[in-house]
Amino acid sequence: MAVLATKLHVPKPRPGLVARPRLRDRLDAPDVEAARLILVSAPAGSGKTTLLSQWFASRDATPRGSVAWVSVDGDDNDVRRFLAHVIAALRTTGADVGGDARAAMEAGGAAPVPFLLTSLVNDLDTVADPLVLVLDDYHEITAPEVHESLRFLLEHLPGRMRIAMTTRSDPPLPLARMRSTGAMVELRAADLRFTPDEAESLLNGVMGLGVSREHVDALGGRTEGWAAGLQLAALSIRGRADVGRFVDEFAGSHRFVLDYLIEEVLDRQPADVREFLLRTSVLGAMNASLCEAVTGRDDAREVLRALERDNVFVVALDDRREWWRYHHLFADTLRSRLRDADPGGTADLHRAAARWHAVRGALPEAIAHSAAAGDGERTADLVELALPGLRAHRRDDDIRRHVRALPDELVRARPLLAVFMAWSRLAEGDLDGVEAWLAETERRLAHPEDVDADLRTPLEAECAARDREIRQVPAMVAVYRACVAQARGDVPGTVAHARRALGLAGPDDHFPRGAAAGFLGLAAWASGDLPSAVDVFGEAVASLRAAGGIADALGATVVLADMWSGLGRPDESRRILERALHEAEGHPVPLSTTGDLHVALADVLREHGELTAAVAHMDAARDLGDAASLPENRHRLHLADAGILRARGDLGGALAAVDRAEAAYQPGFFPDRRPVPAVRARLRIAAGDLAAAEAWARTADIEVTDPPAHPAEFAQLTLARVRLAAYRAGAGSALNGVADMLDGIAAAAGAAGRTGSVIEARLLRALVLAAAGDDRAARETLAGALTAAVPAGHRRLFLDEGAPMEELLRRLVSAHHDEAAVARARRLLAAETPGDASSSTSGEGLSERELEVLRALATDLTGPQIAGRLYVSVNTLRTHSRHIFAKLGVNTRRAAVRRAAERGLL
């Protein structure tokens, strides 16, 4: 996220300020040390910022810690932007804080705010020196999320840190409570008002104007001690012979202080300087070059320096005195007068400012000035040029804001903007609204507007990125149509649009290629062609990765792993999941799919029989919570739970987990490999509740005579188990037709490459033969099933069949002639793989060292003090803390201590 250095500049008090010891003493009082918040709440022009800058300058003599300064503006209503500037400001003090949060924000996407806040607070705990964070002009904030973040920071700040805030209106904090508990000290309008003595020292001491006490009191009364008013009055008096007359006239007038005095000050400037002030008032931050562009002068630097020297309300934004702005009271009045004097003249000024910013690549400023100039086409050009960069940083809200500010007909006329609107509708779930914008996009595609030639040279890279996006538009239109078709359950439509997208996309158009391949892969899966599905979907994952969408690529791996399991290859599922998880964990912040990867891997490990490792991954997924899981994947967690519980013999627990899976299931995203009702029927059989299982079979309306069909395969294989159980319970005719059904499934699945179903059909066929007493044929059939299954890592698929399967496996071991088959059967019969025990986490899983750190965290010691006692670096301490937090399932020091106390670890 782009951080503006000028927003972090700690203003130095300018020369010629009145010392206000009574206010400084108030800020140096002992109760301020105990407070979390220093609130300076008073009207504009009261001298709030000046007061803080004077206070910090006075502290420099006696070092009392560092100052981090943020000049808050309206854009900080984006909470991530706000936090990015807070972190950047804190880092200007040399404190190594917010590194993880910053990395998370730079990784793109909407980093979860709770993660940003907790990691920042944890980092602040390691800062030894006192620190004041200044939020200047906090009244600019209206967004509730930013207020929430502020509340969190105030609650969790380490004791050595305080927040000082200047604002024109009180922030939405529990001020009365904070006041009464001493958590806040405040300075308000009455405190900041100049006393007669302070007015005297401004007018006569600092400005040396020689004003009589009577006139000083008259000015103080007329301005009500308002700092801006007194300052302007002083400027008006300077060099005037008839001070008395000025004061009398001013005091006798009812005119608003600012209007009266700014006119006085302007009238006293030379005509060319007055012109300079009025023309440059349209600018926000300005430097000499920009001022020259809008005024046509060539000596702006000298003018700006002279204005500063004469105290004419310019504020330096950096120490090198390159960037300036007008005091906002002054700027607003100038703009008002400028418009009054020449209502149409401001457009040219804005146009010049827009051009100056555009050729320097400052597109947001260029867009704002261009829009203010009323230049629609030029503004639309600039928005198109800004779009690729904003999208790469996932600043979708910024794009939306820019596009919505444009006149509707301009958006319609531009394919790049119209297709963005289509995407925007799609993201809002407005499927009907998408097509209108796509049609508009296509209608205009033949004649895309060209960017003005004067922007092409200075903005070469932006133009190239924009042209590339325009080339991709036809493919993206087809992708969005596939998306709508899929959301509506229209498989042929999805395939047709996805094919068209692939045909239209160039070899390097990774995003449309990846998205289209993803749709085709899912469609192939839905039709039962798993080998093609794996191929195409694998390409989709690779393209998404090439397009830079790591979270998308890793999330798609969950689906790809599902496909590999259908192919009878849990070993391959495990390999790609472990690789993806390794990559996801290398990310500074949990991705939106990290939890889903843990769950998918847990399910594969369960199939391998590595139950302890599976449980550890389930715990990891639970700790990450919903933020690390896509809504369409949430049911997988409960299905994996059910599998693990079943393997452990807890069938009641497994059934409850299946109920939870059913509640969380979102249909329509992926083919349903294991429909929940059939999973439940299998558990009922295992629990001996044959009646319930038979009831499922009647409801599901499937018969052994149904032809094998891919979507129903799982249910048909479930039906075979129902019949087996019925036969074992004494229903002699229950197995009629079952052998044929299983042979049919094995043949059909074998022909389509669905090896997973082939294995399952064969193992059930073996059980049917065994139940019928044909022991030899049963062993032969089982041996055949084991050939592919065991090397691929299948285990629970067999063992979940319980005693009949174990018996058959034992008979195979004792009586079979094929050494390889015997070895495979032995592997299934062996206890949990020995490697499994080592990966267990016993108890809380905290090491001795971590327990030692945990006990230190429970004290009042600061991070650096703890590090010192334990003879480790602060960084090592931070690593220990992070591990402890992860193991306790918390994310702050305070929560860790509480959790540890609850569990008796201290």
Partner 1 sequence: MTDPDVVYAIRVRGHLDAHRGAWLGDLVVTHNGDGTSTLVGPIADQAELHGLLARLRDLGIPLIACAPARGN
Q: Which stretch binds partner 1 (CB under 8 A): 330-338, 545-553, 681-689, 700-708?
A: 330-338
Residue 69 three-state SS: strand
Closest to partner 1 by CB, 335 vs 855, is 335
DSSP category for residue 712: G
Binds partner 1 (CB under 8 A): choice among 169, 733, 838, 842: 169
Rounded to whole angstroms, the Cα distance separating 45 from 30 reads 28
Alpha helices in 586-650 (DSSP H): 594-608, 611-624, 634-647
Distance CA 350, CA 371 (A): 8
Q: Could you say which of 106, 259, 585, 902 contacts partner 1 (CB under 8 A)?
A: 259
Measured from the CB of residue 256, what is the shortest distance to partner 1 in angstroms?
3
Going 50 to 54 to 56 to 57, the CA torsion angle's sign is positive
Judged by CB under 8 A, the chain residues 426 through 455 that form the site for partner 1 are none
Nearer to partner 1, 41 or 370 (CB): 41
64, 339, 575, 660: which one contacts partner 1 (CB under 8 A)? Answer: 339
Site string for partner 1, 378-417 (x = CB under 8 A): ----------------------------------------
Closer to partner 1 by CB, 53 or 333: give it: 333
d(CA 686, CA 800): 8
Q: Could you tell me if 135 and 10 are in contact, meaning their C-beta atoms sit under 8 angstroms apart?
A: no
For residue 228, the minimal CB distance to partner 1 (Å) is 7
What is the nearest approach in angstroms of partner 1 to the Cβ of residue 189? 10
CA neighbor of 839 nearest in space, from 615, 640, 524, 634: 615
Whose Cβ is closer to partner 1: residue 282's or residue 686's? 282
Which residues are bridge partners to 324 per DSSP?
286, 316
Instruction: Kindly tell me which of 142 and 181 has the beta carbon lying closer to partner 1.
Output: 142
Q: How far is the CB of 139 from partner 1 (least distance, A)?
A: 8
Measure the CA dihedral 465/468/474/479, to 10°: -60
Other Cβ atoms within 10 Å of 327 Cβ, number: 17
Comparing CB distances to partner 1, the nearer of 139 and 816 is 139
Residue 194 within binding range of partner 1, rule CB under 8 A: no
Structure token digits, residue 328: 């906002």
Sole residue written with tokens 């998306």: 483
Provide the minimum distance between the beta carbon of 336 and partner 1 in the complex, in angstroms, as a whole number: 4
Residues 218-237 that bind partner 1 (CB under 8 A): 226, 228
CA distance 508 to 530: 27
CB of 328 to partner 1, least distance (A): 7
Q: Counting beta carbons within 10 angstroms of the beta carbon of residue 391, is it exposed (0 to 12), middle (13 to 18) or buried (19 or more)?
A: middle
Nearer Cβ to partner 1, position 339 or 811? 339
> Using the rule CB under 8 A, which residue among 333, 441, 557, 593 binds partner 1?
333
In whole angstroms, how close is the CB of 535 to partner 1 at the nearest point? 55
Tell whether residue 329 is a contact of partner 1 (CB under 8 A).
yes
Q: How many angstroms separate the CA atoms of 537 and 520, rounded?
A: 8
Write out the two tokens for 550: 């790591």
43 scored as a contact of partner 1 (CB under 8 A): yes
* Spatial contact of 124 and 130, defined as CB atoms under 8 Å apart: no
Strand partners, 163: 37, 133
DSSP, residue by residue, 113-142: HHHHHHHHHHHHTT--S-EEEEEETGGG--
The residue among 168 and 321 lying less far from partner 1, judged by its C-beta, is 168
Please pick, from the candidates 83, 105, 187, 258, the single residue that binds partner 1 as defined by CB under 8 A: 258
Three-state secondary structure along 814-878?
HHCCCHHHHHHHHHHHCCCCCHHHHCCCCCCCCCHHHHHHHHHHCCCCCHHHHHHHCCCCHHHHH
Q: In degrees rounded to 5, what are phi and psi of residue 475? A: -65, -40
Residue 138 binds partner 1, judged by CB under 8 A:
no
Instruction: Find how far residue 114's CA is from the centre of its chain.
Output: 10
| Closest CB to partner 1 among residues 192, 611 | 192
Say how far residue 734 (Cα) sits from the centre of its chain: 56
| Least distance to partner 1, CB of residue 72, Å | 14
In this complex, which beta carbon is closest to partner 1, that of residue 252 or of residue 835? 252
Among 59, 168, 240, 827, binds partner 1 (CB under 8 A): 168
Between 60 and 340, CB nearer to partner 1: 340
Distance from the first to the final alpha carbon of the chain: 41
* Least Å from the CB of residue 401 to partner 1: 17
- 3-class secondary structure, 725: helix
Phi, psi of 255, deg, nearest 5:
-60, 145
Q: Does 254 help bind partner 1 (rule: CB under 8 A)?
A: yes
| Minimum separation from the CB atom of position 234 to partner 1 (A) | 17
Q: Which two tokens stand for residue 326?
A: 């007008």
Closest CA to 223 of 168, 260, 186, 187: 260
Report which secondary-structure segment, H or E, holds 543: helix 530-546
- Which residue in the set 336, 705, 839, 875 belongs to the binding site for partner 1 (CB under 8 A)? 336
The span from the CA of 593 to the CA of 810, in Å, is 42
Q: Which stretch binds partner 1 (CB under 8 A): 257-265, 359-367, 475-483, 815-823?
A: 257-265
- Asked if residue 762 lies in contact with residue 784, where contact means CB atoms within 8 angstroms, the answer is yes
* The one segment of 38-46, 99-107, 317-325, 612-620 that binds partner 1 by CB under 8 A: 38-46
Among 20, 48, 215, 337, binds partner 1 (CB under 8 A): 337
* Per CB under 8 A, 45 contacts partner 1: yes
φ/ψ region of 302 (left if φ > 0, alpha if ψ in -120 to 50, else beta) reads: alpha
- One-letter amino acid for residue 142 of the chain: T
340 binds partner 1 (CB under 8 A): yes
* CB of residue 266 to partner 1, shortest distance in Å: 12
The CB-of-140 to partner 1 minimum distance in angstroms stands at 10
Q: Is 44 in the site for partner 1 (CB under 8 A)?
A: yes
Stretch that binds partner 1, among 41-49, 373-381, 580-588, 590-598 (CB under 8 A): 41-49
Of 259 and 460, CB closest to partner 1: 259
**With binding defined as CB under 8 A, does residue 256 bind partner 1?**
yes
Q: Spell out, one character per residue from 700 to 739, where the chain touches partner 1: x when CB under 8 A holds, - when not.
A: ----------------------------------------
Closest distance to partner 1 from the beta carbon of 481 (Å): 37
H or E, element range at 650: none
**Rounded alpha-carbon distances, angstroms, from residue 379 to 333, 383, 388, 450:** 27, 6, 15, 13
Determine the Cα–Cα distance for residues 755 and 286; give it in Å rounded to an integer.
69
Candidate residues 14, 335, 360, 499; the one interacting with partner 1 per rule CB under 8 A = 335
Q: How many residues does the chain have?
A: 906
> Least CB distance from residue 262 to partner 1, whole Å?
9
**Cβ 42 to partner 1 shortest distance, Å:** 10
Place of tokens 């904030």: 141
Part of the chain binding partner 1 (CB under 8 A), chosen from 40-48, 126-134, 145-153, 454-462: 40-48
Binding residues for partner 1, rule CB under 8 A, total: 25
Alpha-carbon gap, residue 259 to 305, rounded angstroms: 25
Binding window for partner 1 (CB under 8 A); candidates: 37-45, 210-218, 490-498, 842-850: 37-45
| Closer by beta carbon to partner 1, 229 or else 474 | 229
Closest CB to partner 1 among residues 341, 831: 341
Q: Is 257 in the site for partner 1 (CB under 8 A)?
A: yes
By CB under 8 A, name the binding residues for partner 1: 43-46, 139, 168-169, 226, 228, 253-259, 328-329, 332-333, 335-337, 339-340
